[in-house]
Structure formats: structure tokens, C-alpha cells
Structure 1
Amino acid sequence: MDWLRRIHFNSIYARLLATYLLLTALGTSFMAGYILWSFHTYFMRTRQADLENWTTALSESAADALEKQDIQKLEELVQRYGAPQTVTLRIFDQQACLLASSDSRIDKQVRDWYKVPGIREALENHQAQGIAKGVLSNEDRLYIAKSISRRGQLLGVLRMSITLEQYQRQFARVIWSVLGALTLVILLCALISARLARSLSKPIETMRNFAIHLGKGHFGDKLLINQNNELDQLAAELNRMSIRLASLEQERRSFLANVSHELRTPISNVQVTVEALKSGAYEEPELCDRFFQTIENEIKRLSQLIHDLLDLGRLEAGVTQLKQQTFSLCGLINRTVSAMEPRMQTVGVSVQVNVVNLSLQGDPERLLQVFLNVLDNAIKHSLPNSQIFISGYKEGKQAVVKIQDQGLGISEPDLPRIFEQFYTTDPSRKGSGSGLGLALAKRIVEAHHGSITASSVVGQGATFTICLPLTTK
């Protein structure tokens, strides 16, 4: 079928794909950002620690030279340790006057060293460190400035800085490498996400089309979804719904056919009788009385059928209000037997009752209708001079009532269908009832949160078991 073979991806595929890609991009971006931040922080801390170690060692040598006013030794110290192009080393006196520098050519152009980051703090005997621009350049440099003291006396300031240009170039290469890897990861994840989104959206779209197909009235088809997850369970539920809808549709058609048949038969009988009376049968008193009796019986039958159909419809729609009250199970069974006793005497059937006195909560008149219908069914199918056994007892939190006859029993194919509307197991009895008695009984019992089941052995009779919840005290 076209709706099963063709899959049209709507926005759910795009949304799933966009969600997966967004989550992947966010996750990988955060991870890449964290890696770069960690790398940058680690490098800066390492270089800062190196600067601090170097300046601490140089401070002692510089302090010795400053105490002796040995400027030549300071120059040698600065030139030795500030020789690398990436390092600049300067030593100042207490008035921030430059005494020695590893880059004297540029430093001659500086007029006010107080403006250089770290000098003022170091003169106040506070160590300063961080990142700043070069003295006369725009390159970023990592610096440290600390005071040179001996026996609590400030002798001068030592400032060392290193350029970050090489690190920044290396870090830029690292960033581009990470971005390249990130792009590759996102592309791979996009391919995986597209496949995953398709694997999820395809069965969902298939189920959507299947639901549309069901909505058009095509019941009974089967949906095939090969997914080992909740989608399989959803597909199974849709299949069960399809089968159930097909069954309900069949029941609806059967119900309409049965109702039409049940209504047509008495109406036809009344019509034939009226035509006979119009043809002159009313002139014969005995024949006239019999025809009027026929009309009365058929009208009663129609009235009962309509009443049962209305009851059944209300129960299935859940609009029937049950009158909740406490009543005795034993008293209800006695009322049932008393009402059916004349009928049992007519057909030669006796009843044996063994019911424990239990209290139930519910609508006693509706439940009386249940027991009357089930007992009527048992009388119909009992053999002459046989017995019907009615027992009632407590089982857990339920009251159990069993009505057992000694008739021919119910065949195995008929047993699952005896509670269906208009269903009868005995074609010879067609027309003797509406076929709604057991269906009504089932709906009433279920409305009381109970259950009714039937079991039978062919040739030994049938047993109907009714379970109802006991009154909670």
C-alpha cells in the first residue's frame, strides 16, 4: 500500500536533526572552550611561576650590588639574565630611576617610569604581576615587579617581563587545530544525527500515516515497525487498536443487522395480523381474540427490545446513574428465585440455594436484573425435571455467586461470544428473546466494578460466575 511504502519526512525530522546538531555543537564547543581555557591558564600560571622564581633569585644578587652601589655589577646581572630577546630585565632605585636595563636603547625614551605597570606598587613594597603592553610597543607581555629589600630597607625595584607573541602564535595554532577538529566532529555528528533522526522520524511518520489510514475507516491492517524500543510497543498498541476497531466495526454492522431483524419480525407479524383483521377476521370472535393477543405480545416484545437497547446504550456510554446503597446478597437472591418460581414450576425445574449472608454496595434493582437474566438463561437451557444450583460465598474482598444448570451446556466455539449482543447458541430458540439479556448483565456487573464469566462442559450444563466487590467497613 502507498501509505506504507512511501515515507514523507515532515518537520519532525528537521527538528530532531536540528536538536541533535545543536546539542552536539554546544557540547563540543563547551568541551573545546574548556580545553583551550585550561591550556591557556596552565601556560600563564607556569610562566608566572617561572618569572617569580627568577626574580626571587635575582633579587638577592641585585640587593648585594645595590648595597655596595656597584652599578657595573647590576649591568652585568641585567645583561646576563636579560640576554634572550623574549626577556626584558630592569632594575630601579628608590625614586624609580632606571639603574640597569637589558634594553637600554628603548628605555632611554621613557621619561616617567611611574606610569609603567607594576613600578608604583613595587615601590610601595607590594609585588605586582600580570599582563600589560610593552613599555613603548603594543605587544602583550607577562611581567612581574617586586621590591628589592635588605633588613627591612627598600633598596630598589626589579621588573622582569617576557613577550607573549610566541605563545600567542602557538596558541593561535592550537585554536585553529581545535576548531578544525571541532568542525570535523560536528560534521561526523551531523551524519550520525541525520541517520539517528531518520531512524526515529521514519517509524513515527509511518505510524502517523497508519493513524490517518485508520481515521479513514480502513481497519484491520497491520503496522510493521522494527524498533527494539518504545516505538515497537506503540506500534503494537496501534495494531491492537486497528484489530479492535475492525472488531467494533463488525459488531456495529452485526448489531444493525440484528436490530433490523429483531424489529422487522414483530412489525411484520403485527402488519400481517392487522391485514387479516381488515380482511374480515374480526367477524370471528375466537380468531379475532387470538389476533389481538398476537398484536399485544408483539408490541410487548418490541417495547422490551427498545427498553433493553436503551439500557445497553446508556450502560456502554456510562451515563446510567447507579443508586448506591447497602443491601443483603441473600435477600437479593431470594427475590430473584421468588420472581422466577412460577416459570420454573411451569417447565419442571427446581432450584437449590446456598448463599451466605453478605453485605454489598451498589444498585440492588440493577443487580436483580442481572440475576434474573442469568437465571432466566439457566431455566431456558435446563432439561425437564432438573435442578439449578445457586451458591454465594466470600472470596477475598469479593462476593462470588455461581448459577449452575443441568442443561446441554455451551459448545467451545460459542462460549466466548455468549455475552455479545443478539448472540444465541440455540437457533431453535431464535425469537424467544431479544438476545440482550447476558449482554446487559455483563455491562451492569462491570458498572459495579465486578466481573461475570461462564464455563461449561458439553452435556453437563453451564456455570455462570458473578464476582462483586464487598462493602468496605
Structure 2
Amino acid sequence: MKDWFPGKKLNTIHAKLLATYLLLITLGTSLMAGYILWSFHLYLMRTREADLDNWTIALSESAGDALAEMNLQQVELLVKRYGAPQNVTLRIFNQQGRLLATSDPQLDKKITDWYKVPGVWEALQNRPQQGVAKGILSTEDRLYVARPIVRNGQLLGIVRMSITLKQVQNQFTRVIWNVLGTLSLTILLCALISTRFARSLSKPIETMQNFAIRLGSGDFGDKLEIRENNELDQLATELNRMSERLASLDQERRVFLANVSHELRTPISNVQVTLDALRNGAYEEPQLRDRFFQTIENEIKRLSRLVHDLLDLGRLEAGVSQLEQQPISLRNLINRAVGTMEPRMQSVGISARVNVVDLLLQGDPERLLQAILNVLDNAIKHSVPNSQVFISGYNEGKLAVVKIQDQGTGITENDLPRIFEQFYTTNPSRQGNSNGLGLAIAKRILEAHHGSITANSTPNQGATFTICLPLTRIIESTDADLL
């Protein structure tokens, strides 16, 4: 119960849980206690009413015998025997409503009109009456019964008995205090249990809250451990996965920034060095000047390609790049890509062998062409002279599958899992010709079309890239071309 001490600031979650438990417990136990008290009071009243009713029935029989014999002494004896001035008042009237005998003569001397006394008029009309009313000339509540005395169908008089409810009220008061004491003890015990239970629920939530705050602050090194065997375990597992993913993304971001800095620094440094050389006199020599200008132009083109690829990749990853949706012939798409690369392939002595089923796709033709060109460009760069690049296309279920296979040296097992990463190149010596973004962009384009790309390789036997895209339908049979 240390959380209840003055000055101790309750945790918000713990305080809300505890307040909710106590409110529900107090409400539930109060309703139950109220129902018990109401039921007990009703039981006491009905019991007293039944007792009073039985007494008046018995007294009406005895009083009827005495009235039938006109024995008023016997009537007075009955009243004195069963009446008690303090708590039981017994009165017997004749058929005209005149008082014949009373257990409280001092009080009854003050009554001038008995017809105003509750139950007397109704009983004289041969109608038994029962209820609770104020005492005669007092404010005390009393339970009364007024019953006609009848013999052989003739009204001989009435008997009226009333009892004070003080005894019932005193008894009921003792019950109330007992119930309230039990209720307070129950609430106290439930509060102790609720405090522990609320703490057991709020503690893991507080832990996850602090963990989330640390994640928001960029601290991805922690791991959340909660063993509750409930939904909180699942939530903790998902938070740990999110933390790992954020740590991975943060690392990728750092590597990306480092790679971008490196890729930008090299051409800028080359341009700066070249400009310094020109400024220091190289401009006077035509051949050297032309070569330096060509270097500047090449580096500017390299920077332009890098910036374009970075912007392209950023738009694809952010999902803001708008993709057209139109029917595309897979064969025409492959033929366009091969036709674009044909001059370059011829310059290095590489040919392409195409065997593609004409399938109908849905998507952005220019973006898909860019993806295939990037993959084909990678195959050409890693092919050996006088070799072939094999391109095949076919349907597999509801997918269009395109395979691009080169006859190069292949991709090592260490490099294979990372070839679709940004700025990653399998041969560092080729970084001057490649910025390592081509395959990453191709992968993002294909994923934006709900497709995929994978790679496999055998050492010294080339690499095979497999592209899968959703298929619309088959247009015609296969066809083979040699380019």
C-alpha cells in the first residue's frame, strides 16, 4: 500500500487501473449491500405484519365470543392481557365505532373522533385494513391492523392493534452497521488485491512506454523482455521486431549517407583537381586542355547520373513515383531493351539470344524497360568478350517469368545476398563505371509492380537473374530470335 502514502505520485496508468478497480468494487459491493439491506428490511416488515395479523385474528375470535355474550369485563381483560402501553396498543370498538376497551386509556381520552384514526372506518365497513401510519397524537411510525369482529354474518365490533416500529428499526440499524462494516472490510481487502493486480498490469506497460520513448530518441540497442504469457508478450515481440528493423534502417541510412558522400566526393575532387591544373597552365596546351575538358565532362555526366538515380530511388522507396497502368507486350518490351543495348553489346563482342513467349502484362512500360535495362546492363558488364546473354520469358501459373543469364565469372556467395543493396558493387575496380544503384532501382521498380527479382550464380559459369511479374494473359506461342 506504499502507493497510497501522501505525497507519493501515482503513475498515470497504475492510478487509472486502480481507480477503475476500486470504483467497480465499490459500486458492485454497494449495490449488493443495498439489495441485502432492502431484502432484510422487507423481510422484517413482512414478518411483523404476519405476526400482527395472526394476533388480531386470534383476538377477534376471543373478543367476538365476549361481545356475543355482552361480557365487557372479558373484553377489558383481553385488552389488558395482550396490550402494552409502551409498544403494543390494543383497542376494541363496538359496531357503532364507540371505544369499549383500550390498553392506553390516558392517550385515548384525548381522541374525539375515532373515524379519523387509520383503519377504523374501513373495519367498520367490514373491510380489514393493514398498514403503517403515524401514531395517534405522535409522529412515531406504527404498524397497525384493524379487523372487523363478525359472528354469524353480523358485525359485533372491530379490533385494532398497533405496534411501534422502534424495535424493528433498532434491529435494522444493527444490521446496517454490520453490513457497512463488512462492506468496508471487503473494499479494503479488494483495494489491497487491486493495487497489486494494477501494478502487475501497469508495470509492463510502463516498461514498454519507456522502451518506445527510447526508440523515439534513436536508441535502438535495447531489447524488451516481458514474460506475462498474454497479449503483452506479443506486443513486446512486435516492439522488439520494430526495434531491430529501425536499427537496420538506421544502419542502412548511415551506410547510404557514407556511400553518397563517397560517390559525390570522387567526381567533385576530380573536377577540382582538373580545374586547378587548367588554372595553373594546362590550358595553354591544346591536347592536355582537351583531355582535361573531357574529364570534366565525364565527371559531370557521372554526377548527373548519380543525382538522377538517387532521386529516382528516393521516389520509388517513398512510393511517390506515379506508375502508368497500360497493357504491355513482354516480347516487345524485351526487344526494346535488347535493341537499346545492341550497339554496346556489339562494341564488346557480346550477342543476345532471346526466347520469349509473348505475354501480356499491366504496368508502366518505361519503368519496366528501365528495370530490364539495368539488369541487362549488369549482365553485359560482367560478361566476357565473345560470349552470349540468354534472355528467356515464359509463364508460370499466374506469373510472367523473365530470366537473364550471362556467361561471366559469376557472383561469389558473399556478394550474392547484397547485390540489390544501394551502392554495392561486386568489383570495386568498376566503381568508376557504376554507382551501384542499377540493381537496387530495378528491384524497387519491380516491387512497385507487385513483382520480384532474385539472383543465383555458379562460379565461372555466369549469373542468372529471375524476374517475376503478374501475368494478364498469353498472346501467342513462343518464338526464338538470335540478335
TM-score range, shorter chain: 0.7 to 0.9
Hey, what's the Cα distance between the residues in 2 that align with 1:165 and 1:460? 109
**1:217 matched residue in structure 2:** 218
Q: Could you list the per-position Cα deviations for residues 69-120 of structure 1 after superposition, in whole angstroms to 9, with x for gaps in the alignment?
A: 4444544554555579754433333443223334445434433323322223
Give the superposition deviation at 1:191.
1.4
Q: How does 1:167-178 map to 2 (within 5 A)?
A: 167-178=168-179
Structure 1 residue 188: Cα displacement: 1.3
Q: Is the contact made by 1:220 and 1:245 (CA closer than 8 Å) also made in structure 2?
A: no
Cα offset for 1:192?
Answer: 1.6
Instruction: State how 1:133-282 maps to structure 2 within 5 Å.
Output: 133-149=134-150, 154-279=155-280, 281=282
Q: What's the counterpart of residue 378 of structure 1?
A: 379
Kindly indicate whether the alpha-carbon contact (under 8 Å) linking 2:389 and 2:404 is maintained by their aligned counterparts in 1. Answer: no
- What residue is the counterpart of 2:24 in the other structure? 23
Asked if 1:326 corresponds to 2:357, the answer is no
Q: Deviations over 1:302-325 (max 9, x none)?
A: 111101111122223333222333
Q: Is the 8 A contact 1:445 1:452 kept in 2?
A: yes
Whether the aligned pair in 1 keeps the contact of 2:401 and 2:468 (CA below 8 Å) is yes
Aligned equivalent of 1:358, options 352, 360, 364:
360
Measured in 2, the distance between the counterparts of 1:289 and 1:131 equals: 123
* 1-structure distance, mates of 2:122, 2:330: 100
Q: Report if the CA contact (8 A) 1:391-1:403 is conserved.
A: no
Q: Which whole-Å CA distance do the structure 2 matches of 1:21 and 1:135 have between them?
A: 48
Deviations 1:351-402 (A, max 9, x none): 3332341231x32212221222222223333455244333242534x54444
Contact 1:451 1:468 in 2 (8 A): yes
Q: Deviations over 1:408-431 (max 9, x none)?
A: 444444344332211223323222
Matched with 1:113 is 114
* Structure 1 range deviating more: 269-278 or 332-341: 269-278
Residue equivalent to 1:305: 306
Q: Distance in 2 between matches of 1:85 and 1:258?
A: 105
Tell me, in whole angstroms, the C-alpha distance in 1 between the residues paired with 2:125 and 2:464: 107
Question: How far is 1:43 from its partner?
Answer: 2.4
Q: Greater CA deviation, 72-81 or 38-47?
A: 72-81
Aligned residue for 1:204, secondary structure, equals: helix
Name the aligned partner's letter for residue 355 of structure 2: V
**Mapping 1:306-455, distance limit 5 Å:** 306-345=307-346, 346-360=348-362, 362-384=363-385, 385-396=387-398, 398-455=399-456
Measured at CA, do residues 256 and 61 of structure 1 come closer, stay the same or move farther in structure 2, by a change above 3 Å? same
CA contact (8 A) 1:351 1:389 kept: yes
State whether residues 395 and 471 of structure 2, in contact with CA within 8 Å, keep that contact through their aligned partners in structure 1.
no
Shift of 1:140: 3.3
Change in Cα spacing, 1:161 to 1:267, as seen in structure 2 (3 Å) is same
Change (3 A) 1:86 1:324: same
The alpha-carbon deviation at position 258 of structure 1 amounts to 0.8
Contact 1:91 1:157 in 2 (8 A): yes
Query: Residue 173 of structure 1: CA displacement?
Result: 1.8
Against the structure 1 CA distance between its residues 350 and 165, is the aligned structure 2 distance closer, same or farther, given a 3 Å change threshold? same
| Residue identity matched to 2:134 | K
Indicate the residue corresponding to 2:39 in structure 1.
38
Which moved further from structure 2: 23-32 or 211-220? 211-220
Contact 2:338 2:352 in 1 (8 A): no
In 2, the alpha carbon distance for the partners of 1:213 and 1:291 equals 52
Instruction: String of CA shifts for 1:127-157, please: whole Å, max 9, x gaps.
Output: 4323233335554332233444567655433
Gaps of 5+ in 2: 1-7, 474-483
What SS does the aligned partner of 1:207 have? helix
Question: In the alignment, which residue of structure 2 is the partner of 1:96?
Answer: 97
Question: Structure 1 338/139 Cα, relative in aligned 2: closer, same or farther at 3 Å?
Answer: same
Worse overlay, 133-142 or 363-372: 133-142
Taking only the aligned residue pairs, the percentage that are identical comes to 71
Residues 77, 351 of structure 1: alpha-carbon distance in 2 compared, 3 angstrom cutoff: farther
> Within 2, Cα distance between the matches of 1:57 and 1:321?
101
> What's the TM-score, normalizing by structure 1?
0.85
Tell which deviates more after alignment, 423-432 or 78-87.
78-87
Contact 1:9 1:205 in 2 (8 A): no
Residue deviations 1:275-308 (CA, integer Å, cap 9, x gap): 4444555565555444333332222111111011
Cα distance in 1 for residues equivalent to 2:464 and 2:48? 94
Q: Which amino acid aligns with 1:133?
A: K
Sort the Cα spacing of 1:299 and 1:99 in 2 relative to 1 into closer, same or farther, 3 A.
same
CA–CA distance in structure 2, aligned partners of residues 179 and 391 of structure 1: 85
Q: Distance in 2 between matches of 1:32 and 1:86?
A: 30
1:237-296 deviation per Cα after TM superposition (whole angstroms, max 9, x unaligned): 333333233222222221121111111222222333344444555565555444333332
How has the CA–CA distance of structure 1 residues 174 and 432 changed in structure 2, closer, same or farther, with 3 Å as cutoff?
same
CA contact (8 A) 1:9 1:201 kept: no
Contact residue 266 and residue 302 of structure 1 kept, 8 A = yes
AA aligned opposite 2:337: T
Return 178-187 or 423-432, whichever deviates more: 423-432
Q: How many residues are aligned here?
A: 464
Q: Residue type matched to 1:390 in 2? A: S
Question: Which whole-Å CA distance do the structure 1 matches of 2:226 and 2:10 have between them?
Answer: 16
Alpha-carbon spacing, 1:260–1:66, altered in 2? closer, same or farther (3 Å)? same
CA distance in 1, matches of 2:462, 2:22: 69
SS in 2 for 1:358: strand
Unpaired runs of 5+ residues, structure 1, are: 1-6
> Matches of 1:319 and 1:336 in 2, distance apart?
25
What is the letter of the counterpart of residue 27 of structure 1? G
RMSD: 3.3
Q: Retained in 2: the 8 A contact 1:407–1:460?
A: yes
Aligned amino acid, residue 441 of structure 1? A
Q: Which amino acid aligns with 2:190?
A: C
* Greater alpha carbon shift after TM alignment, 456-465 vs 366-375: 456-465
Q: Is the 8 A contact 1:356 1:393 kept in 2?
A: no
